[in-house]
Amino acid sequence: MLGKLTASALTLCLAAGFAASASAGAPSDWSKIPTKTVKLFYPGQSSYQWLRSPGHKRANKKTQKGDSCISCHEGEEEEIGKLIVSGERLEPAPIPGKEGVKDLHVQAAHDGEYLYLRFDWKTQLNQEGRMHNMVRYDGKEWAFYGSHRASSKVREGKQPPLYEDRLAIMIDDGSVPMFAEQGCWLTCHNGMRDMPDMATKDQVKAHALLGKALKKSDVRKYLPQTRTDGAASWDKTKSAAEIAKIKAAGGFVDLMQWRVARSNAVGMADDGYVLEYRLFDKGKKMFSWNVDRKTMTPKYMFDESKVGFKALREGDFTDPGKPTAIIEEINAKPYDPKAGFKEGDILPGRLLTARTTGSAGDNDYAKGVWKDGAYTLVFRRKLDTGHPGDDKILKVGGVYTVGFAVHDDNVTTRFHHVGFPLTLGIGVKADITAVKVD
Ligand code: HEC
């Protein structure tokens, strides 16, 4: 028997047992690598469609033509973010007190095999956002507990704000028209979750491609090239065959998300892409459901012999010594309804594993630590993942477009901070230069 494992002992187990090797987080001294400060700002509902409408004063035609956002907005991030977050423009439901801008510090390095990125940024709350889709026992049954800060349940004070913090990276190699100029804004559309004219569940389920073929019930990021009309409407999708052709030609955006609850506990980041929808790469990713959402029965509970408890309690959320993620191969035990659960016991609604497969498991080293009000994250990514079907293959000497976003303070969807697109040079000068390390 292992006895009680602390969170740090668990981390050690992970480091020893999982994919990453000793040199995984190279370079050894990040203080020698130049730092770029990227101003992320709150975008509200500034969708692809809004940017091309007369509402985007005197700029709609130039935006349609493909002019870059920074050709007009360089240095305006703070001004735009503060204006929108206040609710004065493009934000019908402001979150009181939310920050309008966020400084993201970025450092980059590479060797012959990997790109290494190091980020740090301050959090609005003085705590980590590591709780996500938790389920709580009320003495009789389990129900989801907590939600994101913009949900009506949280706004009305019926549920606590509990949602994971995230950092997202988009990368393109020049294959996606206009991505270099307009970046993430090409992927954000009316009809999506929490955007104007949000599509209903029934509308999406009835849609031949998104509902019937992809089995989706909401609209998420997509690229205009996958739609048939000039407005790039969510429902005007090209055929599956046409979309497959675009994908084969590399016309997708690589999207990777480091998630505090759903990936950081196994030292990884997810791997996805944006094309006709925001999709995950092929293979098994690091998180799945730990609860049957029809019967609300958990699948696993904590293994008491390993961590000293079978469920969490509310106060544990802010205790950095307590692991809050259930990891199949480390601290999980099949759920036993007779284990003696008490009212107020809480289990993660998500199950983690480091036993990923295929392209979905490419980001096998993404380690973030929250301390004194800020995250520090080191992320590595193979230059050539070996999966060109759903990843951008990077080369030493290449220059790429990157877009970054941070979800901070228990939010999801549009309630994040995003940046204008930047260039990333692998060993060559760019907005962010990845310097060579041995
Ligand atoms: C041709 C110049 C031009 C281009 C290109 C342009 N904008 Fe604008 N943008 C403007 C002007 C002008 C306004 C209106 C400012 C006002 O109303 O005071 C504006 C307003 C905005 C606003 C609303 C906030 C505000 O300050 O009023 C957002 C958000 C915005 N632009 C984002 C973008 C993004 C994202 C892109 C790139 C996809 C972009 N813009 C491209 C000129 C431009």
Task: List domains and CATH numbers for the chain.
Answer: 7-129+164-286+354-436 (2.60.40.1190)
**Of 437, 382, 417, the residue nearest 107 (C-alpha):** 437
Choose which residue among 72, 86, 417 to substitute to test ligand 1 binding: the one with the highest number of ligand atoms within 8 A of its C-beta. Answer: 72
DSSP state of 305: H
Which atom of ligand 1 is nearest the CA belonging to 420?
35
Element (H, E) at 16: helix 7-17
Q: What is the per-residue pLDDT for 136?
A: 98
Q: 56: Cβ below 6 Å to ligand 1?
A: yes
DSSP state of 361: G
Global pTM? Answer: 0.95
Q: 32: Cβ below 6 Å to ligand 1?
A: no
Q: What is the per-residue pLDDT for 438?
A: 83
How far, in Å, CA of 55 to CA of 60, rounded? 8
Q: Outline where 119-278 has alpha helix (H).
A: 152-155, 179-182, 201-206, 240-248
Instruction: Count CB atoms within 10 A of the CB of residue 37.
Output: 8
Burial of 7 (0-12, 13-18, 19+ CB in 10 A): middle
Q: What is the per-residue pLDDT for 21?
A: 56
Residue with tokens 């690091």: 286
Q: What is the per-residue pLDDT for 22?
A: 46
Q: How far is the CA of 252 from the centre of ligand 1 (A)?
A: 25
How is residue 49 written in tokens? 């469609």
Which atom of ligand 1 is nearest the CA belonging to 68?
5
Residues paired with 399 in a beta bridge: 425
Helix (H, G, I), strand (E, B) or coil at 232: coil
Q: What is the per-residue pLDDT for 268?
A: 98
Q: How far is the CA of 70 from the centre of ligand 1 (A)?
A: 9
Q: How far is the CA of 80 from the centre of ligand 1 (A)?
A: 9
Q: 284: Cβ below 6 Å to ligand 1?
A: no
Which atom of ligand 1 is nearest the CA belonging to 43?
29
Which atom of ligand 1 is nearest the CA belonging to 46?
29
Burial 110-130 (b: 16+ CB within 10 A, else e): bbeebbbbbbbbebbeeebbb
Q: What is the per-residue pLDDT for 24?
A: 73
Q: 187: Cβ below 6 Å to ligand 1?
A: no
Q: What is the per-residue pLDDT for 1?
A: 33
Q: How far is the CA of 73 from the centre of ligand 1 (A)?
A: 7
Choose which residue among 40, 42, 63, 64 to substitute to test ligand 1 binding: the one with the highest number of ligand atoms within 8 A of its C-beta. Answer: 63
Which residues of the chain are modeled with pLDDT < 50? 1-19, 22
Q: What is the per-residue pLDDT for 333?
A: 98
Q: How far is CA 156 from CA 64, 144, 160, in A?
A: 40, 16, 10
DSSP state of 224: G
Report the relative pairing of strands 166-172 and 142-145 from DSSP bridges.
unpaired
Q: 184: Cβ below 6 Å to ligand 1?
A: no
Q: Do 2 and 305 meet the contact criterion of CB atoms below 8 Å apart?
A: yes
Q: What is the per-residue pLDDT for 26?
A: 81
Residue whose CA lies nearest to ligand 1 atom number 42: 59
Q: 51: Cβ below 6 Å to ligand 1?
A: yes
Choose which residue among 40, 53, 73 to substitute to test ligand 1 binding: the one with the highest number of ligand atoms within 8 A of its C-beta. Answer: 73
